[in-house]
Amino acid sequence: MVISGSEFLELASEDKNTSFLGVIGNPISHSRSPELHSFIYSELDLKAKYFALSFETDDSLLNFLEESEKLPNNPGFNITIPFKETVFRKFNSPQLQTIGAVNTLVKSDGKFLGNNTDWIGFVDPIRQLSIKSAVILGWGGAAKGVVFGLRSVWPECKITIISRKKHDNLPGINWVLSDYSDLNQAIIPTDLIVNSTPLGMKGKQDNFSDHFLSRLPETNFAYDIIYTPAETRFLTFFKSKSVPVQNGLAMFIGQALAAHEFWFGHLAPQRKKDLSNSLAKLLQP
């Protein structure tokens, strides 16, 4: 269920013995984060509630976060499209400068601190791969976590970003400009190709054109960080070429468990593994 910021503040003010959290984005009705975190709270017997919250503007969101900082029973929030960079500009920290996006807010001494767990969730399902080169579609907040993850685990990886426009002059990044309908520049084969855009996401009409997909480079592995639907047009295209694929469900679970630990404390490794396995079964389409 999607609620407004005012509804969230009212509920949290009325029940001070319960922790209130949520995921913030737009669109957000497709998100399964409330289902995921509610399952965790039930399994761990935590008195906590988690909601989906939608905002129309950056200003309305930032005003809401300012009010939420005053709530003693609000440990933090998850942040998703399109607000990861907006929240980064307001709630960043030195360690986040190399990522440039926030997907998790954590309350500390009554103030929100930005963090990013996307990169943790992204690398966990593919740590076993040898990745010397990667192509990333999109340059939003999620892509920044992807780049950070690649450089953390495979520091020598050569990265190419295909984006509608060049946003940053990052050292060691090859930029290819495209509107995702056509791709005129040939790109050499790569070890990994990642869709970090919302194109193909459930609830959104926009998708990749067949012509664009046909012009993408050959790859050893295709990864779409979208988890609803389980198989996007992007993944279907590469599966038809017998390329191993990965959707965003494992990343979604991994980043969520990392965020949970920021809010409620460390989970024992076996407990965390059991929760991850149970969540994969729960959320499987």
Q: Which residues contact 36 (CB under 8 A, 6 or more apart)?
A: 252, 253, 256, 279, 282, 283
- For the entire predicted model, the pTM comes to 0.90
* pLDDT per position as a tens digit, 136-149: 999 988 898 999 99
Tell me whether residue 281 is one of the annotated catalytic residues.
no
> Domain residues of the chain, as ranges?
2-116+250-283, 120-247
User: Rg of the chain's alpha carbons, rounded to an integer?
Assistant: 19
Same fold, 2-116+250-283 and 120-247: yes
- Map tokens 């993850």 to a residue: 149
* pLDDT per position as a tens digit, 163-214: 988 776 678 899 999 999 989 878 999 999 999 999 998 777 789 999 999 9
Question: Which of the residues 49, 84, 107, 144 is marked catalytic?
Answer: 84
Nearest-angstrom CA–CA distance, 49 and 42: 10
Nearest-angstrom CA–CA distance, 37 and 120: 17
pLDDT at position 44 is 97
Determine the CATH number of domain 120-247.
3.40.50.720
pLDDT at position 190 is 98
On the question of pLDDT at 265 being above 70, the answer is yes
- Average pLDDT score over the chain: 93
On the question of pLDDT at 35 being above 90, the answer is yes
* pLDDT per position as a tens digit, 98-150: 788 899 999 999 999 999 999 999 999 999 999 999 999 999 888 989 999 99
Pick the CATH number of 2-116+250-283 from 3.40.50.2300, 3.40.50.620, 3.20.20.140, 3.40.50.10860: 3.40.50.10860
As a 3-state breakdown, the chain gives helix, strand, coil percent values, each rounded to 5, of 40, 20, 40
